Amino acid sequence: MTGAAGNIGSVVREGLRHEADHLILLDRVPLRPEAGNEDVHTVDLRDAAALESALAGADRLLHLGGVPDEAPLEDLLEANVIGTHNVLEAARRTGIERVVLASSNRVTGFHPTGHLTGPQDPVRPDGLYGVSKVALEALGQLYADKFGLSVICLRIGSFEHAPTEPRHLATWLSPRDAVGYMRAALTAPPSIRFATAYAVSGNTRRFWELPDPTTLAYTPVDDAERHAGDIPGAGLPADPAAPQAGPYALPEFTLKHIRH
């Protein structure tokens, strides 16, 4: 697992710790093993040789590392695109059977909230971060088609311990469901060459399709609607023409990251 020290990585690490004979954990910040089956490495995604060395012996790879939000394009390309290329290349060279890539719902953020969006819909990234995740998915498709890797891209929703704003009522991904999706993607049949799926809780108001169970055998168990009473503005009607990305679609969200 890359990005093992991050918000999602920390939760998934704990959730999968007892299901792996050997858990290799990578991050650019130092980690400490918390169980006898954990092997930790301080590795930068830009260091292709170090990645390949650390991943030797792994049979499945969960790639969570990278810049997690809007940033200057140069930074996103280096971490999310070049870094993902290095991860996929290490997987190819070391014979890893399955690679799960952390994509984002932000690759389709400009689809309207009134449209139930699935992987078959065209990408409509809501910012530079979304563009970097479109490139991540394209690299995954390339390595599946050209080199025979089995790759699953998870378009991760709003990962929070609990939803805190009206948009989360559609986009929330609970920690429990995050672990469930990633376990399902790591253990999906090897016959799946390439697939893309939204990782989102079973929210009543969601505007993304749940995965086809023949591709990803996981049914989410949480629903943000249970928290609606705690969220100001939850009762206001949603605009079906508004972008799914909400504030991430505003020009100023990206303009402040453009270097001149």
- Asked about 218 being catalytic, the answer comes back as no
The DSSP element (H or E) to which 27 belongs, if any, is strand 23-27
Instruction: Please give the torsion angle defined by the CA atoms of residues 257, 8, 98 and 209, in that order, rounded to the nearest 10 degrees.
Output: -80
Q: How far apart are CA 198 and CA 252, in angstroms?
A: 26
Q: Which of 129, 143, 198, 218 is catalytic?
A: 129
Q: Which two tokens stand for residue 201?
A: 């809780």
Which CB contacts under 8 angstroms, 24+ apart, belong to 27-34? 27/2, 27/3, 27/65, 28/65, 29/5, 31/4, 31/5
Residues 106 and 154: their CA atoms lie apart, in Å, by 12
Inter-residue contact 56 to 111 (CB < 8 Å):
no
What is the set of active-site residues?
Answer: 129
